[in-house]
Structure 1
C-alpha cells in the first residue's frame, strides 16, 4: 500500500512500507517549504522509520472508543497496520498535512453538523456515541470520545454559490466515568483564559454541560487547514502510548530548538502559564501530547494555544494520579522549589515573576470558582462536579503556594462554604489512568 501525502493540498511525498520499515519519500518537485514534519525536512533520500509509522503520522491516530468504532466500521479496509488505519482517517486530520490512498479513500462525504442542536439539546452518551460513529473518519488522537465534523451553515447560501465545508471544531463528549466533562474542561480552561496572558483554545459548552466544542487553531479564517501541528511526543520520536514517559525537561528540549531566539521569552511564558495552570486545577493528564508546536513555516514556530486542560482530580477514580510529566525526576503535586527552579534555570523566568504568575492564576481560580458555584446554584445537576472541582483547585492552589499548605492558602474555602458544598469524594487506594474506562477502550490496553 502506498499513500499520497499532501501539504495544504499539494502532493509532496509518498508514504509506504519498505520491508519491515516505513518510508517517506518526497516528490521531485517538493520545495523546502513543503516539509511534512519539522523532524523530516525535504531531501532526496527517503526518511525511513523502523517497524512503525514515523512518529509524526502516529500523533493523530485514533485511540480508545474512536479506534474501536473505526475498526468496526472500516474493518475490510484495515490490514492490522497503522498504514491502513492512516489510509482511512488521514484525509481529515489536524494540521496542514493530509494523507490519502493512491486509489482513493473509503467512505462517502459527511453531512455537516448542526452545532446549534448539539449545544442546545440534551445529548445522551448513546446519542454522542452515534455521532462519533458517523464522523469516525477523522485523524484525531485521544481516548475520550470526540470527533471532527464540518459545521452546517447558519443560513443556506445563494443558489449556485459553492460552499466551503471544512472541519472548524473538535467536539468532545462525556461518559458515565467522567460526567459533565464539558463543564469541567470549559471552566478549567477559563482559569487561564480569563487572565488574557496566554493563548488558549476557545471553548463553548453545551447547555447541559456534557459536550464541549473547541475551536480549532490549525485552520485559517475560512476554516481551511493552514498550520502545522506537532506534539512533543512525536518530536521525541515516541509512540503515543508512551506520552507519560517523558519529563518536562525532555519536552522542553524537544520543542525549544524549533522556536526562534527572538520569540523565546514570550514562548517560555506561554509554556510556563500552561504548566502552572495544570498544577492549580490538578490536571494529571497534561502529557507529552498536550504540549505542541504550531507553525505556518519553519521560521514561525510557536507553542500552540493551551488545550485539554481538565480537572482530573474531580473524578475519584483518577484522584490519586500524579502530574503527567515529571520535573527533576519527580511527579508530585507539592513541587516545593522544584518548579520554581525549572522556571528560573530552564525557562529563564525569574523567581519573582514565577511567584507573580502563581498568584495571578490563583486569583483567576477563585474568580472562576465563584462562576462555577453560581452555575451549580442555577443548575442542580452540576452540583457534584462543581463541588469536586472547587475542592481540587483549593488543594492545587495551596500546594503550589507552599510546601506545607495551610488553611489560609485555601482561598476557595469561603466559596465552597457559601455554596453549601460537602467534602469532596475521594479515591480509594487503587489508581486508574484517564483513558482506561471500559466505555472508552479495552481495559488492558495502554493509551
Structure 2
C-alpha cells in the first residue's frame, strides 16, 4: 500500500509496540497502547488518553525523525507527495531512525532492511554507495543527507554497518564544500583534546581515492549475543516541541530551558551546554543550531544527559558563509565576552565560579591546538581565515 494511503501506524520503542499514530483529516493523534519502559518522547509522557493535535499531520517529535536535505527530497519525489505530508514521508523513510522510536504502517513488520555493509573500505565506492541508498529502497532515514548553503545541510551522510565498528555513519564532502570531511575529523579530535566527549571517528578512503569520515553511532549499542539496542535520543527541536523548520529559530536560552526541564542534572548539563557553545564560537562553527544539541538516555546510567558532540566543523574555512552564530545567546550572535557567558549561566543557577575557570581552561587547551589548522587541505587564505578566529 502506498504510504499516502496509510491512515494508521504502529509506534515502536526498540522492539516493543507501544502505541498508535493516526493521520486525521485536520491533524494527528497518538495513543499509548501500553506503558513503555520510558516515554517515547520527553514531551509525550505516558497517559491513557490520546494526544491529539490540529494542523500538521505529524507531531513535532515524529517530524524530527525525518531525514533532511537530499534524502528528504528523494523521499518526496518517490512518494509523490508534498513536503507537508510528513506522515507519509515518515512511513516511507523506514524504521532506522535516530534514537529508539520509529513508526511502521499498522500491522507491518518493524524490522528494517539491513544497512549497507562495508567489509572492505578500500574496495568500496563511497559516492556510488551513497547514490544507491539515496535512490534505492527507503530503509534508512537518519538525518543529514544534506545539500543546502549552510554546512549542516551540506555533508552527505549515510548510515552503514562497518565490520570493524558496527553501526556507523559515513560522511562525504560535497562539491560545494570541499574537504569538509577533513575539517570535521580535525575538530572532532581537537574537541576530544579539549575535554569533550566525542565518538570514535576516522578518515577512510575508497578505491577511487575519495575520502569519507566514518563515525561510530552513539544511539546504537552492540551487546554480545543480543540484538542491537537503540538508545533514546532527542534533539533540541524535539526537546522544545518544535518542528524541524525551527532549528535556526531556537535560541540557546530555549535549548537551555529544555535541558533544565528534562535533564537529570540541570546545572552541570547547562554548564556543559555553555562550554559547547563557547567551543563552537571559538572554532568558527557558526552553523550550530537546535538539531546539533541532543539529550540521550545514557546507556550505563539511564539518565538524560547530552550526547557526545557531533557535526563539529569550522564554517570559517568557507568565505561565502555567514560568520555570526546561527543560534543566538541572549539576542547576541557575535563578539562574545566572558561576561556574556557568565550572565547567561546565572539565569540557570550556573555560578560564575564554575563558568570562568571552565572557559579559561577551554581557551587554553584550544590555543594549544591552533597550529593544527595548518594541516587542513585548504587554500592558504582559507586556513588563515580560520586561524584568525
Aligning the two structures, in what range does the TM-score lie when normalised by the shorter sequence? 0.7 to 0.9
Q: Partner residue of 1:148?
A: 159
Q: Partner residue of 1:46?
A: 50
RMSD across aligned positions (CA): 3.1
**Alpha-carbon contact 1:136-1:147 (below 8 Å) kept:** no
State the shift of 1:128 in Å. Answer: 4.0
Q: Does residue 286 of structure 1 match 2:288?
A: yes
**Alpha-carbon contact 2:30-2:51 (below 8 Å) kept:** yes
TM value normalised by structure 2:
0.83
Matches within 5 A, 1:364-443: 364-373=365-374, 375-376=375-376, 382-384=377-379, 388-389=382-383, 391-395=385-389
Q: Partner residue of 1:189?
A: 188
Deviation track 1:361-409 (CA, whole Å, cap 9, x = no partner) reads 3343344333343x45xxxxx142x8635532431xxxxxxxxxxxxxx
Q: Does residue 14 of structure 1 match 2:20?
A: yes
314, 319, 322: which one aligns with 2:317 = 314
5, 8, 11: which one aligns with 1:5 = 11
Q: Partner residue of 1:213?
A: 214
State the shift of 1:38 in Å. Answer: 1.0
Once residues 116 and 274 of structure 1 are traced to their aligned partners in structure 2, the CA distance between those partners, rounded to angstroms, is 35
72, 76, 80: which one aligns with 1:71 = 76
TM value normalised by structure 1:
0.73
Once residues 86 and 22 of structure 2 are traced to their aligned partners in structure 1, the CA distance between those partners, rounded to angstroms, is 11
Once residues 81 and 89 of structure 1 are traced to their aligned partners in structure 2, the CA distance between those partners, rounded to angstroms, is 12
**Alpha-carbon contact 2:126-2:210 (below 8 Å) kept:** no
CA spacing shift, 1:367–1:125, aligned 2, 3 Å? farther
Q: Partner residue of 1:25?
A: 31
**Alpha-carbon contact 1:323-1:333 (below 8 Å) kept:** no
CA spacing shift, 1:135–1:286, aligned 2, 3 Å? farther
Once residues 299 and 220 of structure 1 are traced to their aligned partners in structure 2, the CA distance between those partners, rounded to angstroms, is 13
Once residues 135 and 323 of structure 1 are traced to their aligned partners in structure 2, the CA distance between those partners, rounded to angstroms, is 37
Matches within 5 A, 1:56-135: 56-72=61-77, 74-75=78-79, 81-104=85-108, 109-110=113-114, 112-114=116-118, 116-117=120-121, 120=122, 128-134=130-136
More strand by share: 2
Once residues 295 and 390 of structure 1 are traced to their aligned partners in structure 2, the CA distance between those partners, rounded to angstroms, is 40
Matches within 5 A, 1:232-381: 232-260=236-264, 263-295=265-297, 300-318=303-321, 320-335=322-337, 337-346=339-348, 348-351=350-353, 353-373=354-374, 375-376=375-376
Q: Does residue 202 of structure 1 match 2:200?
A: yes
